[in-house]
Structure 1
């Protein structure tokens, strides 16, 4: 497998620049996930790696070779698309073998690779069927098998699970993770689903409007988001954010003052801040300890845990994670405080992390 390097990669459509000087080094065998909202540029970036979009500026290397000007067929990559892209008139076997036949591989090699891939993906019983006779999950396995048989330098996945229902997405997510653990293939995977990103990735690249906001391991992004955008995008439910002010280690939130530990309080002097708290870092407390007090609007009991939505005033809603058997009544008054060592502070103007 090959490493992939993106150096100051840019993409423009006329005067409109959509990818801004992206720098990413992907190690050989790494599973890298590009994540972000619709329109952030993640699929465009993937298509530039594949050679399906022209690169407007910068250098793209696969292995030790600069591939900016190479057509897709000469980049030694395999791509799995959102819509499977299978030939409807061909059998599963012929779909998987087609690329190898175009490359002039021997029948013996083709049969060996197709049989190996179908065994890995457990699609052997379907080899003589056509795509219309398969379920969505089976079609996605065929699309993955077509990529595997090529034995490429890297695999590219463009939102491969978005057309599947919730149960199938979980099943196929596990299949992709098992496949990567088995093959140790360099993989670049695009998704808007941050649960897929958190569970599959060795590292995640969070993109926003064509710019890389942060690159890191999943839990690093969760516990130390570099910006408000990352804090709100990574995590489900999303992080609670509240306007506050900070002065010499004392945080003032909605008129209440809270002394912070040194580890959580950046610098001295007075400044406006945005306070971030994950739902699991807010706990119930007595009225005199409370940072927030409000009325329970909704309680979602999910079996493993309960999410409680508490109205603070008339304009704010806090999401709080509670034990699954917590006693809650809609309309009751709830007093809450944050865990001081788990708070996140951001600059409200730049959105960048302060602590």
Structure 2
């Protein structure tokens, strides 16, 4: 497998720049996920790595060699697309072997690689079928198998599960994780689904408007988001965020309530702040202990947990995670508090994390 290095990578369409000086070092054997909303540039960046988009500036290296001007076939990478891109008139076996035949690989070697991929992905019984005779999950396995037989330096995945239903997405997510654990291949995976990112990645790069907002291990991004954008994007349901101001002593004032914020006491240089707390860090309490009090507007019972959406005053709605058997109903008054260590503070003007 091979390391991949991006230095000041840029992409422009005429005067419009869509990728802004991105630096990334992806270690050999690492599983890196590029995650972000539609239009953030993650698929464009992946296609630049693959050689399907020209690089407007910067350097791209695979296994230590600069590849900016190399064609896709010369980069020794394999890509799995969102729409499978299988040849409908060919059998599964022919789809797997076609690229190898075009490269002049010997028949014995083709047979070995196809058999290995079929065993790894459990598609051996489908080798004589055509794509139309397969389910969506089976077609995606074939698309992955076509990448595996290449034995490339790196695998690139462009939202490969977005066309599958919820149950199949979970199944295929597990298959991709097991495949990576078995092959230890350098992998770059693009998705807009933060659950896929959190469960698959060694590291996540969160993208926004053509820049990398933050890169790190999944739980590092979850517990210490570097910006409001990351805080709101990583985590489901999203983090509660509320405008706040610095009060007396070591407190911050949120919706009129003073909250102890000792660990953020040195951040008063920020002229205005945004208070953040995750739904699972809010807990029910007595009225005397409450940071916030309001009425339950909606209660969602999902089996494993219950989410309550609580109206605070006329304009603010907070999400709180409750025990799955919580005895709560719409219209009920609820009082909420949290631990000071669960507070996140952001500079309102820049969106960057304080402390």
Give the C-alpha shift of residue 337 in structure 1.
Answer: 1.2
In structure 2, distance between residues paired with 1:92 and 1:99: 13
In structure 1, distance between residues paired with 2:298 and 2:268: 39
1:264 and 1:341 in contact (8 A); partners too: no
**Other-structure match for 1:259:** 260
Runs of 4+ displaced beyond 3 Å: 264-271
In structure 1, distance between residues paired with 2:160 and 2:265: 42
1:264 and 1:340 in contact (8 A); partners too: no
2:270 and 2:347 in contact (8 A); partners too: no
**Other-structure match for 1:74:** 74
**Other-structure match for 1:285:** 285
Deviates more, 1:48-57 or 1:267-276: 267-276
**Other-structure match for 1:324:** 324
TM-score if structure 1 supplies the norm length?
0.98
**Other-structure match for 1:102:** 102
1:129 aligns with 2:129: yes
In structure 2, distance between residues paired with 1:278 and 1:130: 47
**Other-structure match for 1:180:** 180
**Other-structure match for 2:23:** 23
In structure 1, distance between residues paired with 2:193 and 2:288: 40
Cα deviation, 1:168-197, whole Å, max 9, x if unaligned, reads 000000000000000000000000000000
**Other-structure match for 1:151:** 151
Give the C-alpha shift of residue 294 in structure 1.
Answer: 0.5
Give the C-alpha shift of residue 343 in structure 1.
Answer: 0.5
In structure 1, distance between residues paired with 2:21 and 2:126: 45
In structure 2, distance between residues paired with 1:228 and 1:338: 20
Q: CA RMSD in A?
A: 1.0
The alignment covers a number of residue pairs equal to: 354
Give the C-alpha shift of residue 314 in structure 1.
Answer: 1.7
2:291 and 2:337 in contact (8 A); partners too: yes
Q: What is the SS of the residue equivalent to 1:265?
A: helix
Give the C-alpha shift of residue 265 in structure 1.
Answer: 3.4
Q: What is the SS of the residue equivalent to 2:78?
A: strand
In structure 2, distance between residues paired with 1:300 and 1:268: 38
Could you list the runs of 5+ residues in structure 1 that have no partner in the other structure?
none
Cα deviation, 1:267-325, whole Å, max 9, x if unaligned, reads 34684210000001111111121111110011111111111100111211100001111
1:2 and 1:62 in contact (8 A); partners too: yes
In structure 2, distance between residues paired with 1:267 and 1:89: 64
In structure 1, distance between residues paired with 2:266 and 2:353: 10
Q: What is the SS of the residue equivalent to 1:266?
A: helix
TM-score if structure 2 supplies the norm length?
0.98
**CA spacing shift, 1:298–1:142, aligned 2, 3 Å:** same
Q: What is the SS of the residue equivalent to 2:266?
A: coil
**CA spacing shift, 1:234–1:255, aligned 2, 3 Å:** same
**Other-structure match for 1:207:** 207
Instruction: Please show how residues 46-65 of structure 1 align to structure 2 within 5 Å.
Output: 46-65=46-65
